[in-house]
A and B are shown apart, each in its own frame.
Chain A
Amino acid sequence: MVRLVVVALFLVLAGCAQAPVSPHISSSLELLALDEGTHSPAVAALLTQAEQARLAGKITVAQGYLEQARQIEPRNPDILYRKAWLLWQSQNAQEAEPLCQRGLIFAEEGSLVQQRLIELLAQLYEQQGRMMDAATLRLKRR
């Protein structure tokens, strides 16, 4: 109950604020390219290939490279995030959501990838009209 009140209060305050809460991922959390960041050599090579495929518009192939990377490091939250992000970009929120949840299990507390996963999950909730769930998640991130 207390939690609900806090969330409701947050929503009201957010609505009253001059700048509305952006429905987009803020720039600091935004992924610019699939091969961004530092990874193990094998994963980095696959992320590069995935990014090249994405830029060429071959989303299916890009997902395949990400899946190959996931099989090499199945509990790497960065890979799960990228898979979910690409699904989200291709309007496949239904499959993106559980991957975000899976990624959160392996993401370290306070890490960038944890924040990114939470933000993406919040966006996915918003797309489904689950505004309270999204707000609650963002609260957790803050």
Chain B
Amino acid sequence: MSKKRPPAKKTPRPSSSASALSWQAWLLRLVLVLLVAFVAWAVWLDAQVRARFDGHKWTLPAKVYASPVSLYVGRTLSLEQLRESLEWTDYRVTVSATSPGTFALRGDQVQIYRRAFSYWNGAEPAQRILVQLSDNKVSQVWVNGQAAALARLEPQYIGGIFPAQQEDRELVRLEDFPKDLLAALIVTEDKHYLTHKGVSVRAVARAFWANLQARSVVQGGSTLTQQLVKNFFLTSERSLMRKANEAMMAVLLERHYSKQEILQTYLNEVYLGQAGRRAIHGFGLASRFYFAKPLHELNHAEMATLVGLVKGASHYNPRRHPVRAKERRDLVLGLMADSGIISAAERINAQALPLSVADADRAGQREYPAFLDLVRSQLKRDYRMEDLQNEGLRVFTTLDPWLQHALEQATVQQLDELEARHPAQRGKLQSAAVMTSVDGGEVRALLGGREAEYFGFNRALDAKRAIGSLAKPVVYLTALESGIWHWGTPVDDSPVTVKGEDGRLWQPQNFDRKAHGVVPLVEALAMSYNQATARLGMQVGLEQVANSFERLGLSEKVSPYPSVLLGALSLSPYQVAGLYQGVAASGFVMPLRAIEGVTDQHGQTLSAYGIKGKQAFAPAQIQWLQWGLTQVVEQGTAKGLQFLPQPIAAKTGTSNDQRDAWFMGFDDRYLGVVWVGRDDNEPMPWVGGSAALPIWAQTFARIGVEPLPPSKALRFVKVDNQGKLQGEHCQGQSYPFIAANVPAQIEDCHFGELNKKVKSWFDWLL
């Protein structure tokens, strides 16, 4: 009998079904983990997409514009100035000016089809303007066929205030894009854009096959949405993860936003070229950059050129690689014809056209870095830099491009001539200049260095150099205001020694190293005699002279040292212009101003700036000084201006050892200050009258001089050689006096002194 063995106690072993269950559980867990990770990834990407797309999409740099040319009867305006002003704002000469952005010349008449423009004080629609010129003045203006009192041209774009990445763009709404351009972009870059969901499997497969056949990457499968995601959210890194992010974000983008929103963003985002430091983004700005016209003025060939740039803005740059760019353009035109956007005949015509790209160096695309420095510094008083760089503000300035170009041309010409005469100075000379309007202190031109388009050291604002004899008129103003001196007062130009507080002796010499004896006050100024001026300044009083500098608006503290009388005072050309602004404006001291107004990106006025100032000197007093300054041209160191209409007020200046050459002058419209020197502060073989004066003279010769009017506050009276007033029948030299201070009847010879001096502005008023 067999003994049944009790069944062995089995140790539990995992059954195959149990092990399968466990594997599935693990798989399930893995899937769950992956799913959670995927969802987290998607949520994270979704948050990124929405945050960026719903918020501020771009940093919009402030756009800065020059002062627009105003057209009204009586305005001084040459045909050349009008033509150039139009060309600098990218207007094209045509036969009859039938579309916005064009103009036609017909003898003395200029027909302009001005584009619509949003000025700082409101938007104006496109207008047909007809201007009649006569003797370099506007004699009649018509707007849309009606006689008009006033019209404005479009102001020139002169630069932007960019954030660090220097991206620039001009935002355009989708409805403002030409339909053919949109269609051309879609057929070229993403045929199925309107139907796919962000990623096109067909496009990826087609690209994969094409690349496999070519054994290299010849075709991309990215949709427009993916391209936007890549530009907008990601880097250009080539990795699977980046590609996966791109695809997922594209899908998410399409889920949240309409095709129209995505396309509009793409059109404004895409990188289409480089202009120096500026990166050109979006079709709106690219249209102006390459063709000098807004999008709606583009023809089919131009649209195709821009669309061709999407594949590679540098590779297909029409300026650098015209052959490549034309091939690409013609390819796009072919696609446009194949898909019915244009007819076969239109394709043939468009392909026959040259690329016709606008000049990259044209005025409408250049920047004015020195002036922009000033604009930036003045804007910073009222606006945060962050807002200036990001909020798309529009800044309207006082710059007059016509004056600026005249100044730049005169400077380059003069420095070239000087260096040709002294080859040892070649490449070493620098210059800086400021021009303002006499009555308002608006800065009309500003030159920061010899190379006007150089972004760097701005000598007009930041180079403080000894002003030499440009300090002298302040000494003479103080003397005249004291009531003791007049232009006929004899002053002594013999050697002079002044003992300073530290016991050191100061013995200034004249430029010609000669003493000129006793001369009338006006001659001492006109000939810029150092010894006479030093003696006069010491008699007038150093504190009084320092006080006059302050009253003229100089913020820099002037120490009352004797050497200040002859210009041992370092100022920038901008400060010198500020100092003389009050002299040119008959005693109205005002801060120089570079900005007229600011709007937000929608044209809403945020700020408007106007004349501000203070009547710091009695007008008659300053007009008296102005007469002395006209004698600098008439008989003194600025005789080189005598070929221009007179009178002009001016003063030359040269610092010690001829390290700085200065010139200041004004007519009835503009004040100009010019400096010429070397950055290493080494001496030059020139003085103010030979180095800086010709720049001023050539600039004013080009823009036209309006002579100073005679002052009604002055009266000419004869003076003897002792400086005493004489009757009309007596012998003597005639000099102007403030009429109110001259006795009504001067019968006697050797009459004597003036009436009591004018004390203050209030006294003058009464």
Contact = CB atoms under 8 A, between A and B. Distances in A.
B619 A64 contact: no
Interface residues of B, number: 34
Contact of B608 (A45, A60, A140): A60
Interface string B146-163: 000110000000000000
B737 to A, nearest CB: 19
A99 B609 CA distance: 14
Contacts of B610: 63-64, 66-67, 70, 83
B600 to A, nearest CB: 13
A87 B594 CA distance: 21
A104 interface: yes
A63 B612 CA distance: 12
A15 interface: no
Looking at B149, B437, B588, the one whose CB has the most chain A CB atoms below 10 A away is: B149
Contact of B588 (A95, A98, A136): A98
B109 interface: no
A102 B613 contact: yes
Contact of A65 (B73, B121, B766): B121
A60 B586 contact: no
B615 A64 contact: no
Contact of A75 (B439, B609, B615, B761): B439
B615 A71 contact: no
A123 to B, nearest CB: 16
Contact of A70 (B438, B611, B615, B761): B611
Contacts of B612: 95, 98
Interface in B558-599: 586, 588, 596-597
B73 A74 contact: no
A61 interface: yes
Contact of A101 (B150, B437, B597, B615): B615
Contacts of B607: 60
A104 B766 CA distance: 11
B596 A41 contact: no
Interface string B112-124: 0000000011100
B402 to A, nearest CB: 15
Contacts of B179: none
Interface string B741-766: 00000000000000000000110011
Contact of A60 (B75, B605, B611, B766): B605
B144 interface: no
A64 B121 CA distance: 7
Looking at B70, B120, B614, B615, the one whose CB has the most chain A CB atoms below 10 A away is: B615
B442 interface: yes
A44 B72 CA distance: 12
Interface string A38-62: 0011101110010001000010110
B608 A64 contact: yes
A71 B608 contact: no
A71 B41 CA distance: 61
A68 B122 CA distance: 13
A41 B605 contact: no
Contacts of A133: 762
A71 B605 contact: no
A119 to B, nearest CB: 14
B653 interface: no
A70 B440 contact: yes
A64 B150 contact: no
Interface string B250-294: 000000000000000000000000000000000000000000000
Contact of B586 (A58, A95, A105): A105
Given A70-B440, A75-B439, A136-B766, A98 B613 contact: yes
A104 B765 contact: yes
A25 interface: no
A88 B340 CA distance: 65
Given A102-B613, A140-B766, A64 B120 contact: yes
A44 B149 contact: yes
Contacts of B150: 41-42, 45-46
Contacts of A66: 610
A101 B765 contact: yes
Given A64-B597, A67-B608, A98-B588, A72 B613 contact: no
Given A75-B439, A95-B612, A98-B612, A105 B619 contact: yes
A102 B588 contact: yes
A71 B440 CA distance: 7
Given A42-B150, A101-B765, A102-B613, A58 B605 contact: yes
Interface string B49-82: 0000000000000000000001011110000000
A55 to B, nearest CB: 15
A95 B608 CA distance: 14
A72 B72 contact: yes
A105 B615 contact: yes
Nearest to A100: B615
Nearest to B611: A70
B395 to A, nearest CB: 14
Contacts of B597: 64
Given A45-B149, A64-B121, A64-B596, A101 B608 contact: no
Given A83-B610, A105-B615, A68 B70 contact: yes
A42 B152 CA distance: 11
Contacts of B438: 74
A48 B156 CA distance: 27
Contacts of B122: 61
Contact of A41 (B149, B442, B588): B149
Interface string B607-630: 111111111000100000000000
A110 to B, nearest CB: 15
Interface in B409-450: 437-440, 442
Interface in A80-94: 83
Nearest to B763: A3
B102 to A, nearest CB: 25
Contacts of A83: 610-611
B215 to A, nearest CB: 65
Nearest to A41: B149
A41 B615 contact: no
A63 B439 CA distance: 17
Nearest to B609: A67
A41 B440 contact: no
Contacts of B611: 67, 70, 83, 99, 102
B615 A102 contact: yes
B70 A72 contact: yes
5 contacts: A45-B150, A60-B607, A67-B608, A98-B612, A104-B765
Interface of B: 70, 72-75, 120-122, 149-150, 437-440, 442, 586, 588, 596-597, 605, 607-615, 619, 761-762, 765-766
Given A64-B597, A74-B437, A140-B766, 15 more contacts: A42-B70, A42-B74, A64-B605, A64-B610, A67-B596, A67-B610, A68-B121, A70-B611, A71-B442, A74-B439, A74-B440, A83-B611, A95-B612, A102-B588, A105-B619
Interface of A: 3, 40-42, 44-46, 49, 53, 58, 60-61, 63-68, 70-72, 74-75, 83, 95, 98-99, 101-102, 104-105, 133, 136-137, 140
Considering the complex of A and B, which 8 residue pairs feature the smallest CB-CB distances, nearest first?
A74-B439, A42-B72, A41-B149, A64-B608, A67-B610, A45-B149, A101-B615, A42-B150
